[in-house]
Chains A and B, each alone.
Chain A
Amino acid sequence: MFNRNALMFGYSKSTRFLAENLHKELGNLLIVVDNDQDYQLAKKAGYYVKLLDITDDEVLEGLEVHEDDYLICVMKDHYLNVFLTLSLHSLFPQSMIIALSDSYHVTQKLKMAGASRIIDLYQVSANRIHNILTKPVATKLIERLFSPEEDFSFKEMVVPPNSPLDGMRVEDFDFSSHGVILVGMIDKRLSNQFIFITSGLENHFDSGDTLVCIGYNKDLEAFEAYMKKGA
């Protein structure tokens, strides 16, 4: 569970999975649609939904958007999706805008419109096919990491103050004894950039650093609890 709001613009059968998971994770998800059909569909599914003219900036301004809210653009019409991204970027420049694209050209336009993250439907699939062909074992692992049914995943954790890790050198800590693998981290003191462990990291762990680990869920949870010891 994390403490940020999300506003999802557009609702359809293809984005149902996303809405379901966000709702489960956040509880405070607002869906904004521009037609009655989608409105009824979202309402029936039990979401908090608003029917608005999303091409009108005044209407959009009326939405209570905070700086750290997520704005998710998944409109079916990609013209509208690009237009909406542009409107949201001009109205709420501090917010993170995540958009869904279905072609290379739309991705380029969304980038120019100011989307912070763009998920290209076909690019991720193309990567998947290439990985199936060239790295079948790695692909299976990635599939497991993504599948919500699996007991195996990635997890990002923040090092709390007075944690057993606080002040330790990265290479001195044995993660494998906890059944997890440290993939990389954000060292708050150095920068906000994510650094992979394989880049030859020689940092110290400090409170506030964000670690990304992989492992079985129970091991990840146990490790997170271990980090909080003494905190």
Chain B
Amino acid sequence: MLKKWLLRFAFFLHGSARYKEIKQLAKNFLQNSDYEYKKYFDIFMISLIVLSIATLVYEVKNPVPDWVDFFDIYLVTTIFLLEYVARVWVHNDWHKRVIKEFGEAQFLGRRFSLWKPTKEIFKGKLHYLLTPTAIIDLLAILPAYRPLRVLRIFVLFRVFKLLRYTKSINQFLGVLASKKFELYTLLFLLIFITVTAGIAIYVFEQNHNDNIETIFDALYWALITISTVGYGDIAPITPEGRVVSMLIIVSGIAMISFVTSVIVSSFSEKLDELKENRIIEEVNKKEEFMIICGYGQMTRMFLKYYAHEYDKRYIVIENNKERVEEALKEGYRAIHEDASRHDVIKRFNLQYSNVTLLALTGDDIANIYITLNAKSLSRKIRVIARAKTEKIIKKYQLAGADSIVRPSTIADRMLFTAITQPVMYKAIYAILTGKNMALLDEISVDDAPMMIGKKIEELNFRKHKLLCIGLQGAGEEGVFVFNPPSGLHLQEGDILLVMGRKVSIDHFREIYQKESYV
């Protein structure tokens, strides 16, 4: 009976759009660093932690009002508790595993067991609860239990909680973790020298020095000396003890140099990676961005003229280190990676953003591979590829490229036009580059709904010093009408193609946008 009820409940959760929505929202806030509002949640949590620590420090010497205590004990702790529970909740999905088990049982004709999926989910959650970050979260909740005053010190665990919300500390720890072997070796050496020196000073000084009575005193002295801190509360008085001191000081300096050089070298090794991660994170937060593969002549030219228009909404991926450095020197946002690799493109926010990929390397085979790689990850990615030869264009189309650009064809046509029709060449060049009086622009009827239902002649393009070149009908199947007849009525989704000075187009747009509010 219970099994039936729980199975029904699992199916209910599975079918509930509202439940999915809420869980996804919680996941976005807690786990998805690409979610644009996550930073506000993180800032809120950091503020709570800082307030809590400040209260702890302040109340050491000063009495605090009741409401501060209430805020710290109940409100902050409740929020931490809710966050803790939510993290456990979003860690895995019980209903999905139950439904999967039920499906498999039906398919194989075996008896459905609720225990197996529940156990797996429980194990997964337990595994999460035993992770260091989850333990810190739990310890950060404990100070609320007032009968045990000692638990107040657990407030300090709230400081560790900051690790969750601050990337730089995490990155620092990550860098240290990458040099685990070297640091462990140095730690072992430190322990070895400290213990040896501690024993030596104990043997030489115990009977002569009043400050060294136990082996603990000796070890304390050794550690303080090797770290080059040297409080001076314990000092050797025998010549043998002083020799030990000299040796330990020299080895201490050497150890500090070693540790410093290990940390610095690991940072310089990881610096590029950290910078690249930062660039990817930034671009992933945009609703719309562009991945440019290859930093060759074409990319250089594109960025030279248009980088300012795309601001931070682009990233260049280049597998040649020197070219990446050149791009960075030019002030472009570039990373040293191979765009044909599945895991590289997967790092981008393909699910939530509109991504356009420009395959602009000088190699057709690489461009086709990059196109296929991107399209295999998401059909939503729009791919514009550069083709070197005419023959290869069909292959690009088969690979799924949405637009193909062949530089020599375009240049040849321009050159041909410049020779055969020089006046027209000037006009076309101006139109293509949007210069002077000849910006060719699109005006979406949806942006100015007052245009809907109006006739072309009613818009009076001539008065606005514009030329109406054509009209693209609504939808993907929409037909393009060149020189639309004056009696044609505009419909929702239509796009007008107009030519004129930028100021005329902007003014025209403004008029119909203004009218739409009337």
Contacts and interface: CB of A to CB of B under 8 A. Distances in A.
Interface stretch (B93-101, B408-416, B509-517): B408-416
Contacts of B49: none
A131 B486 CA distance: 27
Interface stretch (A30-38, A43-51, A86-94, A209-217): A209-217
B438 A125 contact: no
Contacts of A142: 428, 431-432, 440
Contact of B504 (A133, A195, A198): A198
Interface string A116-153: 01011111111111111101111011100110000010
Nearest to B471: A137
A131 B405 CA distance: 11
Contact of A122 (B356, B358, B407, B495): B407
Contact of A137 (B416, B418, B495): B495
A15 B465 contact: no
A127 B305 contact: yes
B470 interface: yes
A191 interface: no
B419 A124 contact: no
Interface residues of B, number: 66
A119 B306 contact: no
A179 interface: yes
Given A124-B407, A128-B405, A135-B442, A22 B416 contact: yes
Which has the most chain B C-beta neighbours within 10 Å: A14, A155, A179, A215? A14
Contacts of A136: 442
A154 B428 contact: yes
A98 B415 contact: yes
A200 B414 CA distance: 27
A98 B420 contact: no
Contact of A212 (B410, B420, B427): B427
Interface in A136-183: 136-138, 140-142, 145-146, 152, 154-156, 171, 176, 179-181, 183
Contacts of B420: 2, 22, 25
A122 B300 contact: yes
A67 to B, nearest CB: 15
B37 interface: no
B304 A104 contact: yes
A208 interface: no
A171 B465 CA distance: 11
Given A142-B432, A214-B469, A154 B302 contact: no
Interface string B486-518: 100000000101011100100000000000000
Which has the most chain B C-beta neighbours within 10 Å: A15, A127, A196? A196
Contacts of B499: 183, 196, 198
A220 to B, nearest CB: 12
A154 B483 contact: no
Contacts of B201: none
B416 A129 contact: no
B250 interface: no
A123 B301 CA distance: 6
A196 B305 CA distance: 24
Nearest to B440: A138
Given A104-B301, A176-B486, A72 B411 contact: no
B306 A117 contact: no
A70 B467 contact: no
Interface in B421-454: 421-428, 430-433, 436-438, 440-442
Given A125-B301, A133-B356, A146-B413, A119 B418 contact: yes
B167 interface: no
Contacts of A15: 412
A113 interface: no
A103 B297 contact: yes
B474 to A, nearest CB: 12
B480 interface: yes
A197 interface: yes
Contacts of A126: 298, 301-302, 304-306
B384 A198 contact: no
Contacts of A210: 423
A188 to B, nearest CB: 12
A197 B298 contact: no
Contact of B405 (A21, A98, A100, A129): A129
Nearest to B386: A125
Contacts of A198: 437-438, 465-467, 499-501, 504
A26 to B, nearest CB: 8
A105 to B, nearest CB: 10
A185 to B, nearest CB: 9
Contacts of B415: 18, 72, 74, 98, 100, 119
Contacts of A197: 467
Nearest to B298: A122
B412 A194 contact: no
Contacts of A130: 302, 305-306, 309
A123 B465 contact: no
A54 interface: no
A119 B414 contact: yes
A145 B427 CA distance: 12
A159 to B, nearest CB: 13
A138 B441 contact: yes
Contacts of A194: 423, 426-427
Contacts of B149: none
Contacts of A120: 301, 411
B465 A181 contact: no
B295 to A, nearest CB: 12
What are the nearest 7 A-B pairs in CB distance? A196-B437, A126-B302, A198-B500, A122-B301, A125-B407, A126-B301, A199-B437
17 contacts: A14-B412, A17-B416, A18-B415, A103-B300, A104-B301, A117-B418, A124-B407, A125-B298, A127-B433, A142-B428, A154-B421, A181-B467, A183-B467, A196-B436, A198-B501, A199-B437, A214-B482
Given A126-B302, A183-B467, 16 more contacts: A18-B412, A21-B416, A22-B419, A96-B422, A104-B304, A122-B300, A125-B411, A127-B305, A137-B472, A141-B480, A156-B423, A181-B467, A184-B427, A196-B430, A196-B499, A199-B437
